[in-house]
């Protein structure tokens, strides 16, 4: 895989719709690593880059949507690289343009089958983040990792491990963090753009979320819902990671759920686990996916109906088999 990447004259790199720190960190790391070698690198945006990850973008590289040249870049690139996703539908408008003989997939999500036909795949659910796998590939190129590469990979690692709070914060993940810091990643400098940049809209959304907080004390379910009117009042956010974390952090919470009504009439649902519950299986009930500790899905129906269905599924997950909770 490393040799194939080094030999390419142009690479189109994409991550999933609603790209997170691991997806964009991994994509940007590839750009930072191969551009100095003379490789033309295109970053494809199946959805807009979230505000807090835009600082990672290399100077002079504008993420391309399907409407701003992304499809042309994808069709013409020597290699089509997909990071942090193995599900075709999560590539948005680009999904039907991939050609197996030119495609490389690097991912750490546990999936039954890789839906993206590719000539080379590196899928390892035991990895803490896709950034960990990208690091391994880049090391094999024999080209030293620059500080910008280390910074991008560190963002992927720190976000997907929940700042090293989740169970995927393995000894290897910590050793990788040390290697990235030694290569130039600065944890203190990265903290502000990642975790200390709340806007007034985000604070207003947080206030509304906490005002609507509800609890199932027996099972440890904490949830809140945001109507489309509330979302419009404060403005839609790029992501709701920091919002749902407040629900998960409430003492006694086993599963935290944030439901957000979309203008389409569907409901976007985010799941987080604080205990042994695997919320990826919960998200899969509604056609979504993710990790054991963090997952999401889009549910059809109005907000009240979606809330009832999601809570029913969550209660079934937590009661069969019955779990012990501290």
18 φ/ψ sector (left φ>0, alpha ψ -120 to 50, else beta): left
pLDDT of residue 288: 87
Do 146 and 246 share a domain, yes or no? Answer: no
The string of pLDDT tens digits covering residues 169-206 is 999 999 999 999 999 999 999 999 998 888 888 899 99
What is the side-by-side strand order in the sheet with 103-107?
Answer: 40-44, 10-14, 79-83, 103-107, 120-123
The string of pLDDT tens digits covering residues 294-310 is 899 999 999 999 999 99
**Which residue segment(s) compose the domain that 169 sits in?**
2-195
Residue 94: name the closest of 67, 130, 120 by CA.
Answer: 67
CA 153/CA 260 separation, integer angstroms: 30
Do 176 and 214 share a domain, yes or no? Answer: no
Is the Cβ–Cβ distance between 42 and 77 less than 8 Å? yes
Query: Residue 326 pLDDT > 60, yes or no?
Result: no
Do 70 and 86 share a domain, yes or no? Answer: yes
- Indicate the number of domains in the chain: 2
CATH number for the domain that contains residue 233: 3.10.310.30
Three-class DSSP category at 309: helix
Do 148 and 208 share a domain, yes or no? Answer: no
CA 283/CA 281 separation, integer angstroms: 5
Is the Cβ–Cβ distance between 5 and 28 less than 8 Å? no
The string of pLDDT tens digits covering residues 22-74 is 999 999 999 999 999 999 999 999 999 998 999 999 998 999 999 999 999 99
Do 180 and 255 share a domain, yes or no? Answer: no
CATH number for the domain that contains residue 86: 3.90.1640.10
CA 268/CA 206 separation, integer angstroms: 16
Do 83 and 109 share a domain, yes or no? Answer: yes
In a domain, 325, yes or no: no
CA 57/CA 99 separation, integer angstroms: 26
pLDDT of residue 87: 85
């Amino acid at each position: 895989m490393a040799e194939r990447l080094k030999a390419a004259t142009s690479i189109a790199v994409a991550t999933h719709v609603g790209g997170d720190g691991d997806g964009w960190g991994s994509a940007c790391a590839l750009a930072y690593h191969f551009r100095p070698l003379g490789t033309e690198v295109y970053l494809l945006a199946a959805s807009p880059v979230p505000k807090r990850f835009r600082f990672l973008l290399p100077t002079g590289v504008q993420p391309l949507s399907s409407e701003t040249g992304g499809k042309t870049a994808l069709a013409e690139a020597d290699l089509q690289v997909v990071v942090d996703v193995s599900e075709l539908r999560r590539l948005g408008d680009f999904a039907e343009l991939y050609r197996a003989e030119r495609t490389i997939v690097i991912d750490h999500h546990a999936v039954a089958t890789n839906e993206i036909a590719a000539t080379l795949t590196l899928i390892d659910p035991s990895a803490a983040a896709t950034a960990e796998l990208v690091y391994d590939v880049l090391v094999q190129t024999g080209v030293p990792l620059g500080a910008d590469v280390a910074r991008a990979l560190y963002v992927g690692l720190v976000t997907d491990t929940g700042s090293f709070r989740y169970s995927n914060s393995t000894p290897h993940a910590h050793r990788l963090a040390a290697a990235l810091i030694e290569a130039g990643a600065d944890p203190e400098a990265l903290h502000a753009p990642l975790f200390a940049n709340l806007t007034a809209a985000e604070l207003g959304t947080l206030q509304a979320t906490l005002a609507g907080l509800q609890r199932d004390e027996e099972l440890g379910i904490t949830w809140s819902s945001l109507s489309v009117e509330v979302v419009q009042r404060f403005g839609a956010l790029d992501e709701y990671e920091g919002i749902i974390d407040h629900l998960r952090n409430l003492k006694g919470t086993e599963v935290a759920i944030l439901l957000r009504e979309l203008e389409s009439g569907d409901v976007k649902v985010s799941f987080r686990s604080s205990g042994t519950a695997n919320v990826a299986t919960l998200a899969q009930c509604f056609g979504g996916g993710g990790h054991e500790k963090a997952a999401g899905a889009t549910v059809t129906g109005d907000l009240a109906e979606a809330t009832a269905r999601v809570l029913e599924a969550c209660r079934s997950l937590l009661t069969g088999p019955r779990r012990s909770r501290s």
